[in-house]
Structure 1
Amino acid sequence: MTSFPKSFWTANVTELFERAAYYSMASFVVIYLGQLGLGDYLPSTLNGVLWTLVYFLPVLSGTIADQIGFKKSLIIAFVLLFSGYFMMSFPVFIQGKTLSPNIEKEITSGIDTVIPILIAILLIGIGGSFVKPCISGTVQKTSSGRATLAFAIFYMVINIGSLTGRGVAYLVRTRSSLTYIFVVASICAIVALLIVLFFYNDPEKELNLQTTNRPQKSIKEILLNMILVLKNVRFALFLLVTSGFFFLYAQVYNVLPLYLKKVLETNPPVDLYTMANPLVIVFFQLIITRLFGGLKPIVSIIVGIVIISLSMAINIIPLFLEGGVYRDFLSIMPLGSLFIVMTVALIAFGELFASARTYEYIGALAPKGQEGLFLGYANLPMAIGALLGGPVGAFIFNEIMCKNATKLDNGLLRLDNRSATLGWVILMLIGFASAISMYLYNRWITRHRAE
């Protein structure tokens, strides 16, 4: 492993701090915005827009990074990210706004609060969209013919960064206030910027590689390529079918935090609970790959979608047990929170089955000679799922799960069991519909190829 060049390791350390920055605040975005007075729907919608920007814009930012160089692109990215994390805290630290202990239904904040948040979302989304193509591109170029090992290290670093960010954010916010998660994110972004400035070099420069004189693409050409890809009916249908999986994945940062904050606990440690996701990936990635790597991509994807669908349904169980969701579990957490942690863990298992194999399936689906072009759009289902998952997830939670709920003295909502069950069943059925659609789509594609 020591034979990997310096830029490989500096890229991975940079990625660690970038992921630490993002995940130090990701689990609390909808809660923070809700407590800031943005109501029931705007926090989820804005969070969905943020994830959409991060996963859609690499189509453009990756091309720009190729043209101006990875180092310059990363410097721009971390300046934008630092600015974005700072702007998220602007209403509290600069304007003197206070966070409400509860999330109220109506919007109580004015435009002076909304504008800094909108700017923050744009800055974080644009900045974040530059990082992944630059870091993964560096890993690819410096892998020295050992791409499998290189990307295994890269994937492990991502999850270590995720764990680190959540853990540090928990320690800081429990000793200060929720807004300080953005201080953690800002500091991590600054550290990443300093690493890039003083230690990172473009891989071509470090390895004395000849840069290919490929023609630079204009924005017009990028948009034309996008039209070319989306005009492919088979691929457009695939994007829609698989977006159901990512719609449910998006609820880890939408419905689940809202359920924890508004139903289960007045001050839930969402950052600790969502650690179940990277922990499962770190400990079970190799095992799942070894045991089930031989499955056909389509089978693996469908298994992943079914798992994530069932992860929603298990939250029905504590509703009907003695003591309900508030029943104490080992003096650690309410029983309902335990099932949310289990949901997050199961979603990670679903991710292990579905996410990586999606790239393989797209590669086989793309027309010959256009595999690279089509793989560049592999993250579009995540963008679609996040964009819809924000507002639709908020609707399912607020209008279905919380229907006929009663407010307790501590501000929490005691849900009507039938309404709560219906909400979780709807989420499960969205996943099942995606799995069935994926199966039918694959049969149609197989028949189409045979003809």
Structure 2
Amino acid sequence: MSFVSNYWGFFAGVMMLATGTAFFKPSIQGALALNLTKENSSVGWGLFYWVVNVGAFLGHYLPSLLLALSALLPGALHAEANSAGAWRNLFLASALFSSFNLGLLFVLRDTPTGASKTESPFAVLWRTIKGILEIRLIIWMAIMSCFWMMMYQLWDLQPNFIADWVDSRGMAESLRWLPANLYQTLVQQTTRGPMIPQQVLLSANSLFIIIGVVGVAWLTRHMRTLTAMLFGMMLATAGLLIAGLTTSAWILVFGILFFSLGEMATGPKKSEYLALIAPPGKKGLYLGYVNIPVGVGVYAGSKIAGYVYGQFGEKAGLALRYLVEKTPLGAGHNWNGDVASLEQTLGVPRTQAMLKLQEVTGLDATAATKLLWDTYDPHVHVWLPFAAIGVLAAVALWIFGRMAKKWSDMNA
């Protein structure tokens, strides 16, 4: 990924990364599960989630620093800030950070799993498929797929929404007391004035989890895992709505707090649940299943989000739509209603859409953004469908939880 610039080369790198993760993550989770008991599993999985989010929090800031600092590096690593060479250095640094795990393998004690060491790979594959075909497990994974479909929009869709619609000028102004270099790292200049970048705002999610996840894990240590997950789903859905239905950065962060509390209650508990219901010798196998809902949810969610945001949420697209529907510039143009044809219909490229809207209406960037927000309600069309998916998942988990009380092997 550091040295290719074509799609298929980069795709191959991503697939290799994903394959390595498929070996690494379930193994780590399985090793953890084998060293936890029912009494300490809640706090144990909370600590695991804490470690993950320390990396996620640092990951929001390191790219910006590394892309900028490449200009200070000597020799072959020297590159202009944000250039292709700087991105090369970023991927190389990421590979270096990942390689630190190799050293830890020499001190990590291997934990006997109780699983067969003579079973052939095909037998393991068949046993894995048979395990997935357990109907109750399929239902649970389907419910969690819906939840992750909703949940991942904070990280996949919200960055675009923040860049297009959220006004963080007040928050940026409140940081004026910081040293100049730090202020310039946390604030960027835009056509609407100084704003907090989306990655900085969204890093609040990881920060809240770092602060609170172990405490939430301790508070829910005696709670049924399915019940804790249900409360988490409801909090995360409420948080997504609060964060999505506003242009205020302060309210956005408040919504992220609710979302993060929900994630703290659901994220670690999903792994804990599978570890508790896994048959002897199958903890690693079952904890591999936990990634299936994430994969399904992310894939389906990205398809839905791409369509919904492209049709109803993208500011450039809505600017073109406003021009063709409500200004003299659109007179005489026979638009067919297809968002993809707006550029051709008007002869205005998407990259120039907001500038053209400002020119035609006489508004500045902030007022033009508010005009589109009030006219087309992008927040309603973008976030209500995903909130509905979150509510559906919560209701389904509530029903599943009530039924699981009758199943001794699924009631945890």
Q: In the alignment, which of 213, 228, 246 is matched to residue 148 of structure 2?
A: 246
- Which residue number in structure 1 is paired with residue 15 of structure 2? 122
For 1:239 and 1:432, the matched residues in 2 are separated by: 16
Correspondence for 2:78: none
Structure 1 partner of 2:106: 201
1:426 is matched by which residue type in structure 2?
A: P
Structure 1 counterpart of 2:389, one-letter code: I
Q: Against the structure 1 CA distance between its residues 236 and 183, is the aligned structure 2 distance closer, same or farther, given a 3 Å change threshold?
A: same
| Secondary structure in structure 1 of the residue aligned to 2:123 | helix
User: Are residues 190 and 210 of structure 1, via their aligned partners in 2, closer, same or farther at CA, if it must alter by over 3 Å?
Assistant: same
- 1:107 is aligned to none
Give yes or no for contact 1:366–1:374 (8 Å, CA) kept in 2: yes
Given that residues 298 and 442 in structure 1 are in contact (C-alpha distance below 8 angstroms), is that contact kept between their aligned partners in structure 2? yes
Q: Write the distance in 1 (CA, Å) between the matches of 2:220 and 2:44.
A: 21
Question: How far apart are residue 360 of structure 1 and its match?
Answer: 3.7
Q: Is the 8 A contact 2:228 2:266 kept in 1?
A: yes
Q: Which residue matches 1:351?
A: 263
State the secondary structure of the residue aligned to 1:346.
Answer: helix
Contact 1:308 1:350 in 2 (8 A): yes
Q: For residue 234 of structure 1, what is the amino acid of its counterpart?
A: R
* Residue 187 (structure 1) aligned with residue 99 (structure 2): no
Q: Which residue of 2 aligns with 1:299?
A: 227
**8 A Cα contact 2:227 2:401, kept in partner:** no
Change (3 A) 1:447 1:225: same
Q: Give 1:304 shift.
A: 0.9
Corresponding residue of 2:313 = 401
Is the contact between residue 244 and residue 252 of structure 2 (CA under 8 Å) also seen in structure 1? no
> Which SS does the other structure have where 1:294 is aligned?
coil
Which residue of 2 is the match for residue 20 of structure 1? none
Larger deviation: 259-268 or 283-292?
A: 259-268
Contact preservation (8 Å) 2:229, 2:265: yes
| 1:365 Cα offset (Å) | 5.0
**In 2: Cα distance, 1:211 partner to 1:317 partner:** 47
Counterpart residue number, 1:313: 241
Q: Does residue 160 of structure 1 match 2:88? A: no
Tell me which of 362, 382, 400 is aligned to 1:441. 400
Match of 1:228 in 2: 130
Which has the greater radius of gyration?
2
Task: Give the match for residue 40 of structure 1.
Answer: none
The Cα of 1:137 is off from its aligned counterpart by: 5.7
CA contact (8 A) 1:248 1:308 kept: no
Give the residue type in structure 2 aligned to 1:420.
H
* Match in the other structure for 2:159: 257
The Cα of 1:232 is off from its aligned counterpart by 1.0
Write the letter of the residue equivalent to 1:124. L
Contact 2:312 2:318 in 1 (8 A): no
Deviation per CA, 1:400-426: give whole Å up to 9, x if none. 334972242269964444343132111
Equivalent AA in structure 2 for residue 392 of structure 1: I
Greater Cα shift, 440-449 or 122-131: 440-449
Say whether residues 1:385 and 2:344 are aligned partners: no
Letter in 1 for 2:155: Y
Matched residues in 2 for 1:384 and 1:397: separation? 20
The Cα shift of 1:431 comes to 0.3
SS of the equivalent of 1:177 reads coil
Q: Which amino acid aligns with 2:52?
A: I
- Classify the secondary structure of the residue corresponding to 1:303: helix
**Displacement of 1:151 after TM fit?**
6.1
C-alpha distance after superposition, 1:291-337 (max 9, x if no partner): 3433322221111111111122114543xxxxxx3xxxxxxxxx2x4
Q: Give 1:396 shift.
A: 2.0
The 5-angstrom pairing of residues 13-162 of structure 1 reads 84=1, 86-87=2-3, 90-91=4-5, 113-136=6-29, 154-162=48-56
Structure 1 residue 177 corresponds to structure 2 residue 71: no
Aligned residue identity for 1:397: Y
User: Does structure 1 residue 288 correspond to structure 2 residue 216?
Assistant: yes
Distance in 1 (alpha carbons) for counterparts of 2:385 and 2:298: 17
CA contact (8 A) 2:275 2:287 kept: yes
- The CA distance in 2 between the partners of 1:193 and 1:433, in whole Å, is 41
Residues 220/279 of structure 1: CA separation in 2 closer, same or farther (3 Å cut): same
Mark the runs of 5 or more structure 1 residues left unpaired by the alignment.
1-83, 92-112, 319-324, 326-334
CA distance in 2, matches of 1:273, 1:166: 9
- Matched residue SS, 1:376: helix
**Structure 2: unaligned runs, 5 residues or longer:** 70-80, 168-189, 320-352, 356-364
Inter-partner Cα distance in structure 2 for 1:220 and 1:172: 44
In the TM superposition, 1:201-220 aligns within 5 A as 201=106, 203-204=108-109, 214-220=116-122
Alignment partners' CA distance in 2, 1:356 and 1:211: 21
Residues 281 and 178 of structure 1: CA distance in aligned 2, closer, same or farther (over 3 Å): farther
Does structure 1 conserve the Cα–Cα contact (< 8 Å) formed by 2:142 and 2:293? yes
Find the counterpart in structure 2 of residue 361 from structure 1. Answer: 273
**2:57 is matched by which residue type in structure 1?**
L
Q: CA deviation at 1:272?
A: 1.6
Q: Which amino acid aligns with 1:405?
A: L
Task: Tell me the equivalent position of 2:175.
Answer: none
Say if 1:234 and 1:445, in contact at 8 Å, map to a contact too.
no
The whole-number CA distance in structure 2 between the counterparts of 1:393 and 1:295 is 34
Q: Tell me: CA distance 1:366–1:158, structure 2 relative to 1, closer, same or farther (3 Å).
A: closer
When normalised by structure 1's length, the TM-score is 0.61
Q: Give the CA deviation at 1:382.
A: 1.2
CA distance in 1, matches of 2:391, 2:10: 35
Identify if the C-alpha distance between structure 1 residues 423 and 192 changes in structure 2 by more than 3 Å, giving closer, same or farther: closer
More deviation, 412-421/300-309: 412-421
Mapped partners of 2:113, 2:291: distance in 1: 27
Q: CA shift at 1:147, angstroms?
A: 7.5
Q: How far apart are the structure 2 equivalents of 1:304 and 1:150? A: 18
Note if 1:428 corresponds to 2:387. Answer: yes
CA displacement at 1:257 relative to structure 2: 1.4
| Number of residue pairs the alignment of both structures matches | 323
Compute the displacement of 1:255 (Å).
Answer: 0.8
CA positional deviation for 1:154: 4.7
Distance 2:118 2:63 in 1: 41
